[in-house]
Chain A
Amino acid sequence: ETGVTQTPRHLVMGMTNKKSLKCEQHLGHNAMYWYKQSAKKPLELMFVYSLEERVENNSVPSRFSPECPNSSHLFLHLHTLQPEDSALYLCASSQFSGANTGELFFGEGSRLTVL
């Protein structure tokens, strides 16, 4: 285990549903990330939280809404999604300070299918 846990691992939802993805890190890191992984495309950075403050929002549609209530938890709230939003959503965390490389530790991902 890398210390980053994502739930659920699989999610199927209709376009009118509201659901949430959850990420929890047990590594004491100070930054958390959401990435989207689609087939044959680079991992796309969606959001970054550093010290519980959102510091990056890469032009993500408003139907994706992140939440970081504390340094160990990160959520991605989903509503009125489109079929093209079907993908693997990866959460990651890192500790970037001083000489630390800031290596990203990824969770196993949540496989989302939008019908």
Chain B
Amino acid sequence: GENVEQHPSTLSVQEGDSAVIKCTYSDSASNYFPWYKQELGKRPQLIIDIRSNVGEKKDQRIAVTLNKTAKHFSLHITETQPEDSAVYFCAASKGSGGYNKLIFGAGTRLAVHP
């Protein structure tokens, strides 16, 4: 079955620096790659996603890149702020059959220090 590896498990940056989180997936048929942010004690929430027909997507300070050949995708956060501190999860799915069977990575705990 699908397996998603995520690195690093923890990441500590200074406010204003950039943060990069990387994921690899195993199933070449995967076509949907979302990123979720989970603040302490809160629910995971979608922050950005990308489909396999697109190589890069940006939304203000957040961007995601996808390399289908290498089966890698990455989350880039620029100009980090303390409120970016959270656990970030990548996921992958084939998104077929009327539902979205998301397989998640283990998560990256990002700490942004003022």
Contact = CB atoms under 8 A, between A and B. Distances in A.
Interface of A: 2, 4, 30-31, 33, 40-43, 45, 48, 50-51, 55-56, 90, 94, 96-97, 101-104, 106-109
Interface size class of B (residues with CB under 8 A): 20 to 34
- Interface centre among A4, A45, A50, A104, by most chain B C-beta atoms within 10 angstroms, is A104
B49 A50 contact: no
Contact of A42 (B32, B51, B100, B106): B106
- Interface centre among B9, B45, B100, by most chain A C-beta atoms within 10 angstroms, is B100
Contact of A107 (B6, B43, B51, B102): B43
Contacts of A31: 98-100
Contacts of B44: 43, 90, 106
B43 A2 contact: yes
Contact of A102 (B42, B99, B105): B99
A96 B103 CA distance: 16
28 contacts: A30-B98, A40-B9, A41-B106, A42-B4, A42-B6, A42-B106, A43-B89, A43-B104, A45-B101, A45-B103, A48-B101, A50-B99, A51-B98, A55-B97, A56-B99, A56-B101, A90-B43, A97-B98, A101-B49, A102-B95, A103-B34, A104-B34, A104-B102, A106-B43, A106-B45, A107-B43, A108-B42, A109-B43
B29 interface: no
A4 B42 CA distance: 13
A94 B100 contact: yes
A91 to B, nearest CB: 10
Contacts of A2: 43, 45
A41 B105 CA distance: 8
Nearest to B95: A102
B99 A55 contact: yes
A14 B103 CA distance: 30
Nearest to B106: A42
Contact of B99 (A42, A94, A106): A94
A51 to B, nearest CB: 7
